Every structure is written in C-alpha cells, then in structure tokens.
Amino acid sequence: MEPQARTLVDISGSHAALAGRADMVLERARWAAEVFQRYDRESTMAIADAVAAAAHDSAERFADWAVRETGFGVAAHKKLKNQLTSRPLVDFYRNDDYVNPRIDEARKIVEIPRPAGVILALTPSTNPIATLNYKVLISLMTRNAIVISPHPAARECSVDAARALGEAAMDAGAPDGAIQIIENPGIPLVEELMVSPKTSVILATGGTAMVRSAYSSSNPAIGVGPGNAPVFVDSTADIDKAAKRIVESKSFDNSALCTNESVLITLEDVDARLRRSFKQAKAYICDADDVDRLRRYLFHDRGFNIECIGRDAAWIAQECGIRVPDGTLVLLAPIAQIGVEEPLSREKLCPVLAYHVVKRRNQAITQARAVLRLAGAGHSAAVHAMDEQVAMAFASAVEAYRVVVNTPCTQGAAGFQTALAPTFTVGTGFYGRSSIGENIGPGHLVHWTRLAYNSDASEYFGNYRGLKPGFSGPLPEAPSDGVPGSNGYRARRAEADAGVFSGVTREELRRMIAEELRAVLRK
C-alpha cells in the first residue's frame, strides 16, 4: 500500500476523533436548524432564490470542473443539469408553502409544518453538482439545515460549490451552519454521521451498499435504488421520433444518470424501420462480433467495467476494437435473450443500449418485466406508442413507478421533460424495497402536526387566520467557537485536516468508485 493510502487508513481509524468531529458538525447544523425554523416564508424563499441564483450563475464552471475531476460525462450536459437544479427547481415549488400553517375549515383541521431538522446528504461521483444543488435547495425551502458528504472522486468541485452556496445563503440571511460540507469525506466518518441521533434524516444517492447502510443506521433514510430502465417501442410509435429521443436520452451526459434506457424491446414488424431510424439518429448498430467484443469489455468476473461509466460511444468502441462512424452517439447491441445469462441486459451507465426483438406485444411486456427483475425494480421505464391502450397495458404490468411516454427516459423520469417532480433522488417504492415511490422533493423533508377538532358541526372551530406557531423558550445558544461554521470556512477547526486526499491517484479514486458501484452493477 502506498504511503498516502496508509495515511487514509490511519486517520479514518481513530473512532473517538471521528465521533467528535461528526458531533461538532451536526451540533452546528442542529443549532442552525432550530434558528431556521423561526423564519417566515418570505425570508425562507429569499434565501432559496439567492442560492438558486448562485447555483445557476456557476453552472458552467462547476460542470467543467466535475468532468475534469471525475472523468465522467459531458460538460455541456452537466451544465444543463446544474442549471435545471437551480432556479427552475425553486420555481417548480414556488407555490407550495412549507412554512405557514394550513387551515381546512370544512374539516376543522389546522396543519403546522415541522421541518426535519438536520439533513445528511450523500452525493455521487456521477452527478455531483446537480445532486448537491438539488439537495441544498429542497432543504432550504423547508427550513432544514444540511450536511453534505460528497463522493471522494468529486470532492474538490463539490466542496467549492457548497462553499459558494453557503456564502450566498448567509448573505441572504440564512443562519450560520445551514449548509455544511465534509471537506475530507471517508466511509468511517460518514458512518458516524449516519448513526448520530443529531441526524434527522439521510438523503442517500449512491451505490446500493451506501443506501442500505443509510437504511440500517437507525435514522430515517430516503434512498435511491439502482436503475435498469426498459424501453418498449411499439408498432404504433412514431418510429423516427422514438429513435431520435432514445439516442438523445442515452447519449445525454454519456448515460451517467440512472434513469437512462438500458434495454430496448421492439416488435419484428418495426425492427427494420427502427434500425434505419437509429442509424439516422447517429447510433451504430453492432454486428455479432461487435456485440461479443462489447460484452467481454463491459463485463468481467468482478462485474461491470467501471472504466466505461460516463465515457462516450466512440471511446468505448475504440477500447473494444470496433470501428464506428464519426459522430456516433450510441452503440446499439442486439441481444437474443434477456436474463442473467446475458450481461448486456443489466444496467450500463454508458451509451450502450441492448436491443431485443420479439413477435408480440405481450412478449415485449414480459421481457420488460424481466429487465426490471434483474435490477431497477421500482425505478423507471419508457414506452413509445401512439395507442394509449398499449401505454396503459405496459405501465400496469412493469414494476416501475415512473413510466414515461414518447419522451427521453433520462430527462423524463427525472422530471426535466415531463411534469414529474424534478429530482436527483428517485424513490423506488415497495418494488425497490423503499418506503417512497415518487420523485423526492421538499415535501418529503417536512411533516405536519395536525390540530383536529371535534367533527360535530355544533362544536366550535377556532379562528386560526393570521396566527403563527409559538416557540418554546428563548433562541437556542450558538455552539462555541471552533465548531465548523457554514461549510467549515468561517470558523475553522484548529486541527483542520485539509489535504488528506491530496496525492491520491486516479486509479485509487476509480477503486473508490468501484466500491460505491459494485453492488449496483453486480454480475
């Protein structure tokens, strides 16, 4: 083991030091959350708007930085994701009030909002800044404090982005400590944060192992499961549009989003037309030898080849020894079967799309169900059809809670080309062993205390118009100096450990990513 790696182990191994550090961060966040709960809606939304503006203005800089640091994706596409998780996200929820009491005079019920408190947010290497923006903003809109644990492979860009958002929040009046980020993340420290009683809820976006760890922490957790979205192209579809939209989706950010299409299923009577349309849309259709090369390169004894994550189609083709035309966006890989025997029917976070042909619609639906049994249960699926009965039959049969119709699945299931809630945390519901089946938004970070009066019409119901919740006791006392303030930069630790990850090689970072994704992209 290299000296830097030994240093990482030594530092991570001090349980008492890690527990103390986690407690200091969470105590600052707890104080900020208690202060934040006293803010009115106007002040709360002013803070959210200021942070959204800062995220939007820096979208391009952090997109370039994320690609440079992680090696994943397309900068122009990451810029768009960063923008979509800024002002448009706040605008989507602008008319939702998570601050004032809700009064239902007909039912004689008053609902008082109760923010969660301290949100622990885990962010991935594949979509680091967009996920960070989204989790920060849904926390602020609900008057919660947030502590971010970035993926080590995206640490530098994430820390700088969180600092910028923290500055914008505090300049707009947010309490110090409402936004913090762990500057040198590691699994032992994250585990301390997850099990602490000062953590109110964990927002986990990452590999299955990390999500399961969050669920078993004893704290409430909201996690995203793995994707493996099937897409069915029916004979009633607009074939040219379907091919164009699927290529647009599968090539978007080089398939770094888990909502991208993984296996396409179509019918014999439209197979030839669909292949022609895919060629026009800049997809390369692999022959049998190409498919064999892809299969061997993408999957090995340890599972999926993580070197391919977020790489473009031309790069993957070159690594496989496949010659493709200039400008190729997607590699289409025809497969004869779907199941554990065919690795290409598993999730692939790269622009490689498995292509399977069947004779009848009921077979197509059966095969789509089989794709989700391999992985991705509860996640996402797509159908291209002009016949609404086909769409209904497909959506009713597949075990997915998002089925997008005639739209790119990557953008549609994430709520950016549909009216679904825009999100970077996709609830997989009962099918995916989760308690939430919808796209996660601010409403999941606030619960409501309900004042419920006697329903007898003769019983008096009070006049609650204009009343505000009372608070018990004086303003809580701020933590002492030396506790990390917002993002750990206004009140520095004396024992700051900056540079712990300096000198870590790209190979070591790739190994960290492999650990995160091993359970998701399993054999």
Q: Which are the catalytic amino acids? A: 258
Cα–Cα distances in angstroms (integers) from residue 170 to residues 32, 149, 163, 421, in the given order: 11, 20, 11, 27
The SS3 call for residue 323 is coil
> Which residues, at least 6 apart from 348, have a Cβ–Cβ distance to it below 8 Å?
255, 262, 298, 304, 308, 354
Report how far residue 353's alpha carbon sits from residue 252's, in angstroms, rounded to the nearest whole number. Answer: 13
Report how far residue 11's alpha carbon sits from residue 9's, in angstroms, rounded to the nearest whole number. Answer: 6
Edge-first strand listing for the sheet containing 352-358: 283-285, 330-334, 352-358, 261-267, 229-233, 378-384, 400-405
Residue 46, CB-side half-sphere exposure with 13 Å CA sphere: 11
Q: Which residues of 67-216 form beta strands (DSSP E)?
A: 102-104, 109-115, 118-122, 145-149, 179-181, 201-204
The SS3 call for residue 285 is strand
Please check whether residue 306 is in contact with residue 350, taking contact to mean a CB–CB distance below 8 angstroms: no
Length, in residues, of the chain: 523
Report how far residue 497's alpha carbon sits from residue 12's, in angstroms, rounded to the nearest whole number. Answer: 12
Report how far residue 120's alpha carbon sits from residue 29's, in angstroms, rounded to the nearest whole number. Answer: 10
Q: Which two tokens stand for residue 256?
A: 């770094």
Cα–Cα distances in angstroms (integers) from residue 70 to residues 63, 64, 161, 439, 476, in the given order: 11, 10, 15, 26, 41
